[in-house]
Amino acid sequence: MKIAILSRNPGLYSTRRLVEAARLRGHEARVIDVLRCYMNITSHAPSIHYKGDDLIGFDAVIPRIGASVTFYGTAVLRQFEMMGVYPLNESVAITRSRDKLRSLQLLSRKGIGLPITGFAHAPDDIEDLIEMVGGAPLVIKLLEGTQGIGVVLAETRQAAESVVEAFMGLQVNILIQEYIQEAKGSDIRCFVVGEKVVAAMKRQAKEGEFRSNLHRGGTANLIRITPEERSTAVRAARIMGLNVAGVDILRSNHGPVVMEVNSSPGLEGIEAATGKDIAGMVIDFIEKNAVAGKTRTRGKG
């Protein structure tokens, strides 16, 4: 098979591992900088060009599209879909999961456990908004933030009001969520491939920090998850339409709650914590499922 990997940096651990796993199984893998692609959008013969080459003959495409280039990255992926190339994750599913509000609304509609969440732009009554999610302490998030950036824990009502007012002054959209104190600064990353959780790790925030992201100094360890947590992760990925996803779950007093569904989950932390060949599992999934034109949306949406 000929596999395209859409990644801006071939030196990243996840990109290197996917190339390695593909080549180990006898496939041809090519890393393509999505921002260097340019497209011919024409009826009956859509094409993608890259550094003067016409990108043809690919059987599958693995999108590793960063949040900052979601718009252009998904446009390129959509073009691959229109050309009949099998996408590991479809453009519509990635766009859906990157929109925090939309993803939470979709998960909510299907009955997935979530933290109590408020969404606001310019509420007339900030006190009522805070009360709506159970009062302080609470978590305030920028809608466009990633990797824990733009996430604030407000431990008192006064602090919550000040932070909300500050974000309002910047005219940005924010989410306000209940703070799951019983999680004690930890969450569970479930790595879903197809209809299975193939690996799971517990991420623990460093001392004095509530964000457990590994980029923020958190640590990761192997963990056994419950059948309910396993089912929640698989269902969340399916609702987003993702074949491969990192589903972040908190253990709350009322069961597992989903914080986020990541369409481009990193491999380094999960492979180190579990010792599993996750990249190999991803390539195995493509081998079993890659069929020309097998895109549910065919680039629509």
Domains with residue ranges and CATH for the chain? 2-89 (3.40.50.20), 96-112+183-263 (3.30.470.20), 117-179 (3.30.1490.20)
Q: What was the pLDDT predicted at 214?
A: 53
Rg (CA), the chain: 20
Q: What was the pLDDT predicted at 43?
A: 83
Q: What was the pLDDT predicted at 147?
A: 53
Q: What was the pLDDT predicted at 128?
A: 85
pTM over the 0.85 mark:
yes
Which residues of the chain carry a pLDDT beneath 50?
298-301
Q: What was the pLDDT predicted at 298?
A: 45
Contact 20, 14 (CB under 8 A): no
Q: What was the pLDDT predicted at 36?
A: 94
Q: What was the pLDDT predicted at 239?
A: 96
Q: What was the pLDDT predicted at 52?
A: 87
- Give the pair of three-digit tokens for residue 207: 């001392």
> Which amino acid is present at 40?
N
Q: What was the pLDDT predicted at 88?
A: 97
Backbone φ and ψ of 228, nearest 5°: -65, -40
The span from the CA of 37 to the CA of 50, in Å, is: 5
The string of DSSP codes covering the chain is -EEEEE-S-TTSHHHHHHHHHHHHTT-EEEEE-GGGEEEE--SS--EEEETTEE----SEEEE---GGGHHHHHHHHHHHHHTTPEESS-HHHHHHHH-HHHHHHHHHHTT-----EEEESS-S-HHHHHHHTTSSSEEEEETT--TTTTEEEE-SHHHHHHHHHHHHHTT--EEEEE--GGGTTEEEEEEEETTEEEEEEEEEPPTT-----GGGT-EEEE-PPPHHHHHHHHHHHHHHT-SEEEEEEEEETTEEEEEEEESS--SHHHHHHH---HHHHHHHHHHHH--TT--SSTT--
Q: What was the pLDDT predicted at 263?
A: 95
